């Protein structure tokens, strides 16, 4: 059965956004242009655009038109960091050591939301900079959203970098905390048990769909968070 025209228009625009062909800030064709291209009414186009706006994929600006939305990050400090790029930019050699990879069912409500009725890819690994441990990572990827991840060799391609390149995100949430290293973490990071670690917990979405959740643990002295702010007031 053929999908309604407004859904097909939405899917066409969504595909351009999620593939990266239309980057953040790109102007979507005006409604009259979409009406002409698809031979439909303004109401049909408006239904498609409203659905895209509600999914967080576009911003509708009165009199200016509609634009691809910029990703939302629920943090005053962070964007999505690519550790491989950060380490390389510092002039150090980067490596990722895959500790384990398995496909499994969701466990509990939070994981069920991530899985969206499918399976999860459960990955554990260690990021290294200049041959030294930088971060322990535990990541879950929704195979309902990124089924191709099941066939990737993450011992060659770190999962975070792969996701940034192949599964565009539209919204992210960070939580930052300080924790003491447990025995397994201490062994991998080569620090004393109980030593202070920076924990970064992150979740990302593509539109309304949950893509991945990850926890990275850094030795306290090895990583910092820097932000530069401008005043929201004129004075």
Q: Which residues pair with 176 in a beta bridge?
A: 200
Please state the domain extents for the chain.
5-70, 73-219
Give CA separation, 131 vs 93, 95, 184, in Å. 7, 8, 19
Over residues 70-128, the pLDDT tens digits come to: 765 444 445 566 888 888 887 889 999 999 999 999 999 989 999 999 999 999 999 99
Reported as half-sphere exposure (CB side, CA atoms, 13 A), residue 90 has a value of 13
Q: Nearest 5 degrees, angle CA 64-CA 67-CA 72?
A: 125
**CATH of region 5-70:** 1.10.10.10
Of the candidates 80, 52, 64, which has an alpha carbon nearest to the alpha carbon of residue 139? 80
* Entry pTM: 0.67
Q: Which CATH architecture has domain 73-219?
A: 3-Layer(aba) Sandwich (3.40)
Over residues 151-204, the pLDDT tens digits come to: 999 988 899 989 888 887 778 888 888 999 999 999 999 999 999 999 999 999
CA Rg value for the chain: 21
């Amino acid at each position: 059965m053929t999908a309604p025209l407004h859904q097909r228009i939405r899917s066409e625009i969504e595909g351009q956004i999620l593939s990266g062909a239309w980057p953040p800030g790109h102007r979507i064709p005006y409604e009259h242009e979409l009406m002409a291209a698809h031979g439909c009414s303004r109401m049909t186009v408006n239904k498609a655009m409203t659905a895209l706006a509600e999914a967080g994929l576009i911003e509708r600006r009165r009199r200016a038109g509609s634009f691809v939305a910029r990703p939302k990050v629920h943090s005053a400090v962070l964007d999505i960091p690519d550790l491989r790029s950060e380490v390389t930019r510092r002039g150090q050699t980067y490596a990722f050591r895959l500790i384990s990879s398995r496909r499994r069912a969701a466990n509990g409500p939070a994981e069920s939301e991530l899985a969206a009725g499918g399976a999860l890819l459960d990955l554990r690994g260690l990021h290294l900079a200049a041959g030294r441990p930088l971060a322990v990572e535990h990541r879950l990827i929704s195979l309902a959203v990124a089924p191709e991840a099941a066939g990737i060799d993450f011992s060659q391609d770190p999962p975070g970098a792969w996701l940034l390149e192949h599964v565009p995100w539209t919204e992210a949430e960070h939580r930052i905390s300080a924790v003491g290293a447990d025995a397994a973490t201490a062994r991998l990071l080569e620090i004393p048990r109980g030593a202070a670690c920076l924990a970064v917990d992150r979740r990302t979405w593509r539109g309304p769909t949950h893509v991945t959740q990850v926890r990275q643990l850094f030795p306290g002295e090895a990583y910092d968070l820097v932000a530069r702010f401008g005043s929201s007031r004129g004075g």
